[in-house]
Structure formats: structure tokens, C-alpha cells
Amino acid sequence: MNFPTKMLSHEEFSEALLNAVAEFPLEDTRAYQLMISRKCPRPFIQEYACSAYKAASFFCEILPELIEQAPNDKARLTLLKNLLEEEGIHISSSKGLIVQNEARHTALALRFVDACGASQRLKKTPGNRLSPAREYLSEGRWLEAVAFIMIGLELPFAHNSTLIMNALIGQGYAAKDLVFFAVHRDADKRHGQEALDIVINNSHTREQQDAAIQAAREGTRHAFSIHGGIPGTKRHSPYKSIDA
């Protein structure tokens, strides 16, 4: 007789999700190694800037889909707050909704594109390569889509954006043109914790937990591959604790 596999506790599940995204560190990618080298070619930085803009655009496009398919109001509200921040929208008790177009994350990414002279290149850059996330949604696998995007991709970017920003400053770029990376240091750490809560609270079977862990792993693996990951190197996880 086969007995159902016991569900992980909230603490065990959280640790398993964090460990999954720690398996593919940015430091072990060719892109990062090139970024911190003295001979990093300008066209590479331009291509990276364009890719960052495309990723920001994709994220703003897919968040409404996650919101629409959310199974409850609590998850929907959390994702909506994330979207408002991405779109530069804030709430004031005296003024209501305040829209700051210059604070939109796509606008901040475009500032970096302009700073490295990649405006013309942007027109030729193909669409963002994060389409696997849409496959989850098209198959009705909302929980896995959240795990893929917000834990597998967004959470690690809180750590990775600091590495990237420091590397770009080392290449001579001004901090004022790298605000896109600066804002994600804190924002994605916060959004990552929120995503963990969403996934943990909406996983009701061990099968769902295992699927979410795998989706989070695939999200980070996908980004690792895009950055030219060098497999086989194990590092200490920066995600053992969300406060690390």
C-alpha cells in the first residue's frame, strides 16, 4: 500500500525553496565573469542593458496575468502591490494614486540603456527569453508560475543586482545610471519574502510543494543558462536566510 507523502512544514518548505534557488549562483556565469574583467567589451554591456530592459518589460506584462489567476484575494493583493511598485505607482492618503513615470522599473532600465549607448540596439534585441513562465500559466499551473518567476527569478535578483551594480561601477558607469539595479536590492528581497509566503500558503499537498520547489529551481536554472552558467561549482548559499 502506498501512503501519501507527508507534507513539509512551513520551515522545511521555505528552506527547500531557498536551497533550490541557491544552486545556480550568478558568480558562476560567464556573463558575470566578463562583467568584472578588465576587458569587458562595450557591445556586451549594451546587450546586457537591452536584455535587462526586456526582462523588466516582461515582468510588468506577466504580473497582471498572475493577479488575474490568483486563487484568493490575499495573493491577488500582494501581487497587485508588486505591480504598482513596478509601474511607479504609489498611494497617498491626501492625493490618492500617484503615478511617477520616471520611477517605473522599465524607465529605470531604459536609463541604463541610454547610458551605455544602446538605444538603437534595443530595437533589434529579440523579446525576453523568460517564456517558460507563460507555459505554466497556459497549463493552469499558477502556483508553479509564481515559484518560477518570483522565487526562481525575482528573489535571487535582490542579491545579483548588487553584484551587477558593483561590477558596472567598476566598468566606469555612474551610480545615477544604475538605479534600476539599486532599487531591486531591497524591492526584490521584500518581494521574494512575499512570494515565499504566497507559495507556502497556497500549497496544500506534498505534490504541490514538490512542484513549486522544482519550478523555483527551474527559474533560477533558466536565468543561469541565459547568463552562460558554468555548471559544477558549488558555493555557500546567500539564501539560507531571507535576511542574509
CATH of the domain at 170: 1.20.910.10
Q: How many domains does the chain have?
A: 1
165 located within any domain: yes
Q: Residue 212 CA to chain centroid, in angstroms?
A: 16
Q: For residue 148, tell me if it sits in a domain.
A: yes
3-class state of residue 96 by DSSP: strand
Establish if 71 belongs to a structural domain: yes
Q: Is residue 232 part of a domain?
A: no
Q: Please report the pLDDT score of residue 165 as a whole number.
A: 96
Q: Is residue 8 part of a domain?
A: no
Tens-level pLDDT at each residue, the chain (244 residues)? 455 679 999 999 999 999 999 999 999 999 999 999 988 999 999 999 999 999 999 999 999 999 999 999 999 999 999 999 999 998 888 888 899 999 999 999 999 999 999 998 887 776 666 678 889 999 999 999 999 999 999 999 999 999 999 999 999 999 999 999 999 988 999 999 999 999 999 999 999 999 999 999 999 999 898 887 765 544 444 444 444 3
Residue 55 is assigned to a structural domain of this protein: yes
Give pLDDT, residue 127: 65
192 contacts: CB under 8 Å, gap ≥ 6: 150, 151, 154, 155, 158, 242
Residue 237 located in a structural domain: no
What counts of helices (H) and strands (E) characterise the chain? 11, 2
Q: Is residue 97 part of a domain?
A: yes
Say whether 128 sits in a helix, a strand or coil.
Answer: coil
Which pTM does this prediction carry? 0.88
Whole-angstrom CA distances from 114 to 49, 136, 179 are 9, 34, 13
User: What's the full length of the chain, in residues?
Assistant: 244
Task: Note down the domain range covering 105.
Answer: 17-226
